[in-house]
Structure 1
């Protein structure tokens, strides 16, 4: 059963209303994809806060008015279940456009940065949120640090 604006995890109660709404939406999507509540709640909280910090005022207002966290897609899940991806290390590797942050076995990076320091910072955040480690590679493909 999906969480709603009236029935949600207690850890969401102190979040700002629009951040809570976004966290509910993210957590519900993660549950749909097979993640456990114990993993979905902290990740959704972190991602909702990050979304709020980076969203424009128009995006926030639009989501506040029109976002429907309990409305599910008629076609079902968009992705294959892949909760094991949460157990993979995050890695920072050289990329044609700069430095990429991705899960070890992911086909595509989650983000690409112009400089390595920004990629490492983001990789640390993701690894901390997921409870995994970060492995940083040099341009030549050898491990720089773990």
Structure 2
């Protein structure tokens, strides 16, 4: 289900309009990537709040990669899932992300070991 400015989840009702609109945009994108609804909403609201706080900064407009835990490994994958790299530790992955960010513009959604949104870098 795609949400709109007039039809959005109850969890977004108390957000300021610019934050809510961004959260709707992010949530719709995550749902297209087959995220579970509750998880998509949680991530979207958190990211929208961060976006609002940092809106004066120049940023990449959308998530290009995700860093997720799979068992004992950490996987850095493109948002479309076409490419991925595997790392033994999260620290190793974060070092590689910093190197990659020097070479190209990317925005990485970092998840914790339980799969919950942690931060965007």
TM-score normalized by the length of structure 2? 0.55
Q: Which residue in 2 is equivalent to 1:92?
A: 91
Unaligned runs of 5+ in 1: 60-77, 82-89, 101-107, 112-122, 134-146
Q: Which has the higher strand share?
A: 2
**Runs of at least 4 residues of structure 1 off by over 4 A?**
96-100
For 1:131, which of 100, 116, 121 is the aligned residue? 116
Q: Which residue in 2 is equivalent to 1:32?
A: 32
Q: Distance in 2 between matches of 1:9 and 1:17?
A: 13
TM-score normalized by the length of structure 1? 0.46
Deviation, 1:96, is 6.6
1:54-104: CA deviation from partner (whole Å, max 9, x where unpaired): 1119x9xxxxxxxxxxxxxxxxxx7249xxxxxxxx82236378689xxxx
CA root-mean-square deviation: 3.9
Q: Distance in 1 between matches of 2:3 and 2:97?
A: 39
Q: Which residue in 2 is equivalent to 1:6?
A: 6
Alignment of 1:43-54 (within 5 A): 43-54=43-54
Q: Distance in 2 between matches of 1:132 and 1:14?
A: 21
Conserved? CA contact 2:39–2:116, under 8 Å: no
Change (3 A) 1:129 1:31: same
Deviation, 1:36, is 1.2
